[in-house]
Amino acid sequence: MVDIFGIPSTALFGQLLIGLINGSFYALLSLGLAVIFGMLNIINFTHGAQYMMGAFAAFLLLQYTGLGYWLALIVAPILVGIVGMIIERTMLQWLYKLDHLYGLLLTFGLALIIEGLARNYYGSAGLPYQMPEALVGGYDLGFMRLPIYRAWVIAASLMVCLATWFVIERTKLGSYLRAATENPTLVSAFGIDVPRMITLTYGFGVGLAAFAGVMAAPIYNVSPQMGSELIIVVFAVVVIGGMGSILGAVVTGFGLGVIEGLTKVFFPEASNTVIFVIMAIVLLVRPAGLFGRRP
Amino acid sequence: MERADPAPVATSITAVPVTSGRDWSEPIAFLLMVAALVIAPVYVYPLFVMQALCFALFACAFNLLIGYGGLLSFGHALYFGWASYLAAHAAKVWGFPPELAILTGTLTAAGLGLIAGSLAIRRQGIYFAMITLALAQMMYFFALQAKFTGGEDGIQAVPRGTLFGLVDLNDPMNMYVTVLAIFLAGFLLIHRIIHSPFGEVLKAIRENESRAISLGYKTERYKLVAFVLSAALAGVAGSTKAIVLQIASLTDVNWPMSGEVVLMALVGGLGTVFGPVVGAFIIIAMQTYLAQVGQWVTVIQGAIFVLWITVTHCPTCAR
């Protein structure tokens, strides 16, 4: 047993791993928020509820159709994304020209409805979700034991984040998207259906949240309130990183997850609050956020 | 993915027509409200009215910020809840009389408002809301972990005590009159602030901050003062609530409370003088009388948010 700063290395690496797991959820969720904010000019308060819906969708798919984890990983985000697109078409689309606060309040209301309904039908206690067979167990790395599922979560979310970055920054579709973010009128003049693009963007951002929810299901229990506390932390992550850059969102998400994990080792009392404290410090030193472009 | 410039804001969230000249409708409405509140305990359970009055003051304090300063705080539970904790602690453990307990709570809220406000005003609009929410959540975790707050149990059996060593607040009638007096004093103070030169500058900042800056106003300072005033008044409401209901708990500092006060102001009408009072009574009545349907209250509250925005702002519903 090796000690680092008086802490057993297994404990240190264990918390580091948990930090990376939390970081992957922060990264996926803040990425979705940033993509949605870029196109829709709306802060999607429903994001936490949609993450919860992803987990519930996986649970219900297994319960009623016998669809396992791997298919749920694809089907659940699509289902939740479709629900999101319906919300966008019926409600959000009227708010783009208005003050951002309308979007915040509307999506906050939606989050209350979704969470309230889930709690009505499934209670506040968590529902367990089985880990897929293939990912049970762990590797012994010598200095620590690495559970396969946790390694998979980190790898998968990194891949999804990088893929999203690639699509938005390096493909034709992404260039339309970025152009429409800058100047929707001009882009539609080139014959691109901007409203449809906005709808699909919202569906995609929501799908990312649901994807994170499915991945979270085997680690945490599936419960109605799993999203609401997470989303507030993600808001702080977004304030720290700024919503200006995709890689910024990803780096901030993972970085803060790791810092939170380390805090759990060295100063456990502050582990819940460390991200908010960092947010306060960043606001004092760099009000625009680490990757933000304007104050 | 961020826009270089904020999207043109077509309508402020609280567009209130400016009225000029002597308008008697407000004084008359005020007298009617006072009359209704004086006779209310004869017909309605007094504890319900007292609770609603505390929340009404809370909603008015919140409304001062959003309705007149255009600043949406999504973390007002922080000031309400922490004031309530400190007032309860002062009354129960330190043995403070109620007036000093309320003062303690209020000063706590003002201090917290000063810190949170000076951080939050560094960013605008949507970020302002997110920052206030995040800071409130941070202080919620502090309340969860701190010893003196009693964690999940909260601070229970807070003594009501004797006001100024003269009035025994254990008598329901005395308590009612005291709460009514505190509410009316807070209400009138807010009314005074709104109609003072300070209030006018605040409204100017809400309508067009850049122009206010170009006219030489230090808008950040005005926003901060408004924030601290709003937090302190929310503190008065929270402290009074702790004395009236004799309990301070985690519910008062958690994020749903912050959402609830937004809802109260919204239902009654943002940027109106009496709106938040009406809104608070509606929401508290809903919670009290719909308590047996449990979680549906949350669903209904959410639905009110959604309906308010879709009905008032979809293009097919003519305005």
pLDDT single digits (tens) A8-66: 777 788 888 889 999 999 999 999 998 888 888 888 999 999 999 999 999 999 989 88
The two structure tokens encoding residue A63: 């319960």
Q: Number of A to B CB contacts under 8 A, please give it.
A: 171
Integer Cα distance of A185 and A10 in angstroms: 56
What is the number of structural domains in chain A?
1
Residues of A in contact with B9 (CB under 8 A): 98-99
Q: Is the pLDDT of residue B2 over 80?
A: no
Q: What is the mean pLDDT of residues B163-186?
A: 87
Q: Is A99 on the interface with B (CB under 8 A)?
A: yes
Check pLDDT > 60 for residue B6: no
- Cβ–Cβ below 8 Å for B72 and A101: yes
Q: What chain B residue is nearest to A228 in terms of C-alpha separation?
A: B255
Average pLDDT over residues B169-196: 90
- Only one residue has tokens 């009290």, namely B288
Say if residue B308's pLDDT is above 90.
no
User: In this predicted structure, what is the pLDDT of residue A74?
Assistant: 93
By the CB < 8 Å criterion, does A284 face chain B? yes
B127, B135, B213, B319, best to mutate vs chain A, most A CBs in 10 Å:
B127
pLDDT tens per residue, range B100-124? 999 999 999 999 999 999 988 888 8
* pTM higher than 0.90: no
CA distance A11 to chain B (A): 23
Instruction: Please provide the average confidence, as pLDDT, over all residues in chain A.
Output: 87
Where does the pLDDT of residue A293 fall: very low under 50, low under 70, confident under 90, or very high at 90 and above? low
Q: Name the residue facing B122 among A117, A244, A287 (closest C-beta).
A: A287
Is residue A256 within 8 Å of A240, Cβ to Cβ? yes
For A:45-84, CB contacts with B below 8 A are none
B10 close contact with A: CB closer than 8 A: yes
Distance of residue B163 Cα from the nearest chain A Cα, in angstroms: 38
Interchain CB distance below 8 Å, B126 and A284: no
Let me know if residue A295 belongs to a domain: no
- Range 238-277 of B in CB contact (< 8 A) with A: 255, 259, 262, 266
From CA B192, how far away is CA A207, in angstroms rounded?
49
Percentage of chain B beyond pLDDT 90 is 34
- Closest-CA residue of chain A to B11: A98
Q: Does A162 touch chain B (CB under 8 A)?
A: no
User: How far apart (Å, rounded) are the C-alpha atoms in residues A233 and A34?
Assistant: 15
How close does chain B come to A189, measured CA to CA in Å? 19
A175 Cβ contact list (under 8 Å, min separation 6): none
Is there a contact between A115 and B133 if contact means CB atoms under 8 Å apart? Answer: no
> Mean pLDDT throughout B23-44?
83
Which has the closest alpha carbon to B281: B42, B10, B39, B57? B57
Task: Assess A242–B contact: CB distance below 8 Å, yes or no.
Answer: yes
Per-residue model confidence as pLDDT tens digits over A244-265: 778 888 899 999 999 999 898 8
- Mean pLDDT over B90-106 rounds to 90
Contact call for B309 and A106, based on CB within 8 A = yes
Instruction: Supply φ then ψ for residue B269, to 5 degrees.
Output: 120, 110
Examine residue A292 and state whether it is found in any structural domain, yes or no.
no
Using pLDDT thresholds of 50, 70 and 90, give the confidence band for residue B17.
low
Give pLDDT tens digits for A119-173: 888 887 788 888 887 777 777 777 777 888 888 999 999 999 999 999 988 998 8
Residue of B nearest to A41 (CA): B7
Strands (E), B121-160: none
CB pair distance less than 8 Å for A292 and B2:
yes
Contacts 24+ apart (CB under 8 A), A234-237: A234/A26, A234/A29, A234/A30, A234/A33, A234/A47, A234/A48, A235/B130, A235/B133, A235/B134, A236/A275, A236/A276, A236/A278, A236/A279, A236/B130, A236/B134, A236/B137, A237/A26, A237/A29, A237/A30, A237/A275
pLDDT of residue B5: 42
- In the predicted structure, residue B316 carries a pLDDT above the cut 70: no
Secondary structure class of A127 (helix, strand, coil): strand
What pLDDT is attached to residue B21?
Answer: 60
Q: Is A134 at the interface with chain B, CB within 8 A? A: no
Residue of B123, B125, B109, B101 whose CA lies nearest to B76: B109
pLDDT classification of B18: cutoffs 50, 70, 90: low
Closest Cα in chain A to B133: A232
Q: Tell me how far apart the alpha carbons of residues A157 and A20 are, in angstroms, rounded to a whole number.
A: 10
Closest partner CB to B2 (pick from A102, A243, A279)? A243
Q: Give this complex's ipTM.
A: 0.85
Nearest to B65 by CA among B146, B104, B121: B121
Here the CATH number for the domain that contains residue A220 is: 1.10.3470
- Position B313 scores a pLDDT of 65
Q: What is the mean pLDDT of residues B230-256?
A: 92
How far does the CA of residue A190 sit from the closest CA of chain B (Å)? 20
Chain B residues in contact with A243 (beta carbon < 8 A): 1-2
Report the pLDDT averaged over residues B87-104: 90
State how far residue B287 is from chain A, nearest Cα, in angstroms: 14
Mean pLDDT, to the nearest integer, of A113-117?
92
Q: In this predicted model, which residue has the larger pLDDT, B141 or B19?
A: B141
Binned at pLDDT 50, 70 and 90, residue B268 comes out as confident
C-beta separation of B305 from B266 below 8 A: yes
Boundaries of domain holding A83: 3-285
How far B318 CA sits from the closest chain A CA (Å)? Answer: 13
Beta-carbon contacts of A203 under 8 Å, excluding residues fewer than 6 positions away, are: A81, A82, A84, A85, A88
Token look-up 């409130």 returns B136
Mean pLDDT of the region B233-239: 95
Closest in B134, B266, B294 to A276, CB measured:
B134
Look at residue B195 and tell me whether its pLDDT is greater than 60.
yes
Would you give the DSSP letter of residue B119? Answer: H
Task: Give percent above pLDDT 70 in chain B.
Answer: 91
Give the pLDDT of residue B20: 56
User: Is A126 within a domain?
Assistant: yes
Q: Which of A75, A42, A45, A43 is nearest to A58 (CA)?
A: A75
Range with top average pLDDT, A56-70, A76-90, B145-159, B253-267: A76-90
- pLDDT, residue B190, reads 93
B319 vs B317: CA distance, rounded Å: 6
Closest-CA residue of A relative to B132 is A236
Looking at residue A268, what is its pLDDT?
81
Of B131, B144, B310, the CB nearest to A91: B310
Any CB–CB contact under 8 A between B125 and chain A?
yes
What are the helix (H) ranges across A171-245? Answer: 172-182, 184-189, 194-216, 226-241
Contact A43 B130 (CB under 8 A): yes
Tokens of A249: 């969102």
Chain B partners within 8 Å of A49 (Cβ): none
Instruction: Give the closest residue to A47 by CA, choosing from A218, A235, A195.
Output: A235
Among the partner residues A43, A116, A181, nearest to B299 by beta-carbon distance: A116
When comparing pLDDT for A291 and B134, which is higher? B134
pLDDT in tens, A60-106: 999 898 888 899 999 999 999 999 999 999 888 888 877 778 888 89
pLDDT attached to residue A295: 38
